[in-house]
């Protein structure tokens, strides 16, 4: 298939990156080397793929959902020994055979599947990862990145920001305007780098599970004070004991609690419940 004859499919959320400066920026921040095994999600017509392959990487494995693009990509890169391609949905495809080989993940994420992709690649609290990615480079919706990077006291602060910051080091590189894509999306994007925290450096799994539970309950009613949300799992006596031992004021709303305070709450909650 000629690439000019391929039309983007709305159901796949296809907005292809065409800004050459951003394509170069992605390659630059990836800091590619001869040991890299790259997973590229949604290569589209291969604009970024070409740049990544034009480096000293060991391997690039691409996963593309759109069956109509498979022949196009194979025709374009089939003479490159470093390239392999798999047709499938990144949300359901089995990566077990290559997961431990992958060093870096690079993707322009379709906005409609951002949450599940973050769960798969950044991980979830209370669950040990079975991979060891060095970097995850995502081009994703700006407002989601802003929420992920929010600190306590910000109206954007939420369960997502606490979870992501406990699981990974995060750096926003730059914002990317709609004009950088074809067709242009209706919103701005941001280029962001995640460096997942190694399993042995993460919090104890039991603490992570408790933080996740507290976040879920608290942010389900984010306008309420902690005292009025955590009373669903704690008695008044336990709430008073937890507030005193963790030194966290339960008259605060969840978006005003720092990550360090969530950790203290979880640690002391475990002690109280023993």
What whole-number distance in Å separates Cα of residue 269 and Cα of residue 238? 9
pLDDT digits (tens, 9 = 90+) for 22-54: 999 999 999 999 999 999 999 999 999 999 999
Main-chain phi, psi angles of 143, to 5 degrees:
-65, -30
pLDDT digits (tens, 9 = 90+) for 130-142: 888 999 999 999 9
Q: pTM value?
A: 0.92
Average pLDDT of the chain, as a whole number: 93
What are the structural domains, with CATH classification, of the chain? 10-201 (3.40.50.150), 205-273 (1.10.8.100)
> Does the annotation place 108 within a ligand binding site?
yes
pLDDT digits (tens, 9 = 90+) for 59-87: 999 999 999 999 999 999 989 999 999 99
> Does the annotation place 61 within a ligand binding site?
no
| CA-based nearest residue to 15, from 112, 106, 98 | 112
Please report, rounded to a whole number, the percentage of residues in the chain having pLDDT higher than 70: 95
What whole-number distance in Å separates Cα of residue 76 and Cα of residue 81? 12
pLDDT score at 13:
53
> Does the annotation place 64 within a ligand binding site?
yes
pLDDT digits (tens, 9 = 90+) for 5-24: 455 544 445 789 999 999 99
Q: What is the mean pLDDT of residues 162-190?
A: 96
| CA-based nearest residue to 149, from 183, 173, 126, 131 | 173
pLDDT score at 2:
44
């Amino acid at each position: 298939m000629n690439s000019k004859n391929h039309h983007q499919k709305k159901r796949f959320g296809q907005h292809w990156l065409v800004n050459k400066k951003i394509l170069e920026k992605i390659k630059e921040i990836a800091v590619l080397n001869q040991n890299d095994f790259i997973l590229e999600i949604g290569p589209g017509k291969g604009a970024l793929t070409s740049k990544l392959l034009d480096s000293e990487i060991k391997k690039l494995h691409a996963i593309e959902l759109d069956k109509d693009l498979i022949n196009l990509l194979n025709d374009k890169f089939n003479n490159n020994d470093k390239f392999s391609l798999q047709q499938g949905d990144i949300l359901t495809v089995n990566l077990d055979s290559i997961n431990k080989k992958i060093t870096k993940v690079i993707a322009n994420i379709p906005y409609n599947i951002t949450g599940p992709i973050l769960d798969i690649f950044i991980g979830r609290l209370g669950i040990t990862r079975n991979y060891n990615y060095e970097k995850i480079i995502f081009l994703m919706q700006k407002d989601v990145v802003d929420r992920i990077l929010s600190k306590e006291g910000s109206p954007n602060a939420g369960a997502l920001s606490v979870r992501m910051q406990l699981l990974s080091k995060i750096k926003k590189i730059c914002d990317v305007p709609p004009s950088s894509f074809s067709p242009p999306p209706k919103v701005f994007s941001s280029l962001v780098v995640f460096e997942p925290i190694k399993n042995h450096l993460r919090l104890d799994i039991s603490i992570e599970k408790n933080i996740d539970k507290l976040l879920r309950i608290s942010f389900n009613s984010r306008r309420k004070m902690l005292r009025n949300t955590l009373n669903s799992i704690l008695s008044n006596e336990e709430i008073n004991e937890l507030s005193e031992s963790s030194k966290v004021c339960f008259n605060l709303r969840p978006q005003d609690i720092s990550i360090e305070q969530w950790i203290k709450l979880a640690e002391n909650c475990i002690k109280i419940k023993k």
